[in-house]
Amino acid sequence: MVEGLDRLKRKLTKTIPQAVFDATIKAMEQGAGEVVSMMRRLAPKDTGALAQTINWTWGDAPKGSMVLGKSAPTRDGLVITIYAGDMSTMVGEREQFQLARLQEFGTQHMKASPYFFPSWRTLRKRVRGRVTRQMRKAVRDGAK
């Protein structure tokens, strides 16, 4: 028999995939934090209420908030959701009148003050590149 086959099997089925998963999660969290930080800087600051409600979470956004972006699910079904607004930033009682949506896209009487799409377009390549680099690094480190 070949020596070290069990060790190789264990690396390929347990050690490396877990290291890649952990590195991916960390990179996704860092990327979401960067996007949220830039969004807060770009959000209109009339009262500051909207900027305070911009955040990210694993899973679904809180009730009353507007989902701005979602990642593809990981192997364990984890999804990062970037959201803005909450029940306190609702304008009226209908969900489409969320202040976050009105500020991002504007209305017929109010000019748009976009904060999400400029942030995402600016940071998209950096975030995706970081996730890819961290995954490759975890594979290389696990193979040693």
pLDDT at 31: 95
* Residue 77 pLDDT exceeds 60: yes
Secondary structure letter of residue 11 according to DSSP: I
Residue spans per domain, the chain: 34-143
* Residue 98 pLDDT exceeds 60: yes
* Residue 79 pLDDT exceeds 80: yes
Rounded to two decimals, what is the model's pTM? 0.80
Structure tokens at 99: 């202040």
Which of residues 94 and 60 earns the better pLDDT score? 60
Cα 96 to Cα 40, 55, 101, 102, 144: the distances in Å are: 21, 19, 7, 8, 52
For the segment 30-66, what is each residue's pLDDT rounded down to a tens digit?
Answer: 999 999 999 999 998 888 888 898 999 998 888 888 8
pLDDT at 92: 67
Q: H or E element: which one contains 80?
A: strand 80-84
